Amino acid sequence: MLLGLIPRPTATLRHAVSQGLRASPTTRARLFSSAHRIETVPLVYDLHSPAKPTVPDEQTSPIIVMHGLFGSKKNNRSISKVLARDLGRHVYAVDLRNHGASPHHARHDYLAMAADVGEFIKQHGLKEPTLIGHSMGAKTAMTLALDKPDLVANIVAVDNAPISANLESNFARYIQGMKKVDRSDTTKLSHADEILEEYEESQTIRQFLLGNLHRPEPGAKTQVFRLPLDTLAKALDHLGDFPFKNPNEVRFEKPALFIRGTHSKYVPDEVIPVIGQFFPRFTLVDVEAGHWLISENPEAFRKAVVQFLEPQE
């Protein structure tokens, strides 16, 4: 769940689309060489296994589900169980770096998050996985697919696009509110909610953020946010970026499903040509929902994913 990232059809974006996002010939080389120096972290995960598997084990054609900013694997628990059931495949719901129970690291950008997922695939011996990512997780999936296409069978990118976009963001305010909660020595969820209400009117968003509260030690009464707030605050300026600029130099030639919310502004019509340039075998599905379409319209999301991933006769 990545709140407030809105790709606007600016003159720069229109020019990028019309010009095919031309970039320096050295762009791809710089990106790949920098990726080789990335220090990865081991990702914590939940494995959801189907009652009637259609694959021999959890390493064969698994699905990896990735959350958005300020989210965690528990946000995807329900949909992961449903996809495991309907597709007969094992589903790994992961916590990306600096989220949930995964380790914290000073670097937080898409190349780093993609490197973590790539290492996760290698360490667990996963073969031909499907990547499903929402918002920040969607850009992570796209980045890994373009960077290491041999590791990935296909992707499902949920309400985000392979572009650099301006952040029209409430993130900084949310982080300020969460820091205030941390300083308050609160012991009650209701007290933390009262503090956050100064920073966000929507109860839905507040409850989402409060899902990151925890007691850092057994027996502790005070609750704090498990997120590394200073690290994420520094990363905000980069989370609207996309590391690949030139689809003439790098493409993902395997199937890709892009799902967007009809009431969301994250994937405007203007960026569809760019999606096709980076992901020439893409399918676009519109779901009657806003940005949080997995929770807003889970049945439509489920149908789109199952239709995309079901074996074709």
Domain boundaries, the chain: 11-18+26-167+246-309, 171-235
* pLDDT for 81: 98
Nearest to 235 by CA among 37, 99, 52: 99
Q: What is the largest CA-CA distance in the chain?
A: 59
* pLDDT for 37: 80
Helix (H) or strand (E) holding 84: helix 77-87
Name, in order, each residue with C-beta under 8 angstroms of 234's C-beta and a sequence gap of 6 or more: 108
pLDDT band of residue 166 (cuts 50, 70, 90) is confident
Q: Please tell me the least confidently modeled range out of 71-80, 125-134, 140-149, 158-167.
A: 158-167
Q: Is 263 a catalytic residue?
A: no
- Residue 237 and residue 239: Cα distance in Å, rounded? 6
Q: What is the mean pLDDT of residues 173-179?
A: 96
- Residue 267 and residue 162: Cα distance in Å, rounded? 9
Check pLDDT > 50 for residue 14.
no
Q: Encoding tokens for residue 6?
A: 């809105």
Q: Is 291 a catalytic residue?
A: yes
pLDDT band of residue 22 (cuts 50, 70, 90) is very low
- Residue 88 and residue 54: Cα distance in Å, rounded? 5
Share above pLDDT 90 across residues of the chain, in percent, rounded to a whole number: 81
* pLDDT for 219: 85
pLDDT band of residue 311 (cuts 50, 70, 90) is confident
pTM assigned to the model = 0.89
pLDDT tens, position by position, 97-144: 999 999 999 999 999 999 999 999 999 999 999 999 999 999 999 999
Check pLDDT > 80 for residue 36.
no
pLDDT tens, position by position, 208-248: 999 999 999 888 899 999 999 999 999 998 899 999 999 99
Vertex 167: Cα angle to 294 and 299 (nearest 5): 5
The DSSP code for 102 is S
61, 135, 169, 264: the active-site residue? 135
Q: Pick 254 or 238 by higher pLDDT.
A: 254
Q: Which residues pair with 156 in a beta bridge?
A: 132, 257
Q: Encoding tokens for residue 157?
A: 């990118």
Residues 11-18+26-167+246-309, CATH architecture: 3-Layer(aba) Sandwich (3.40)
The DSSP code for 127 is B
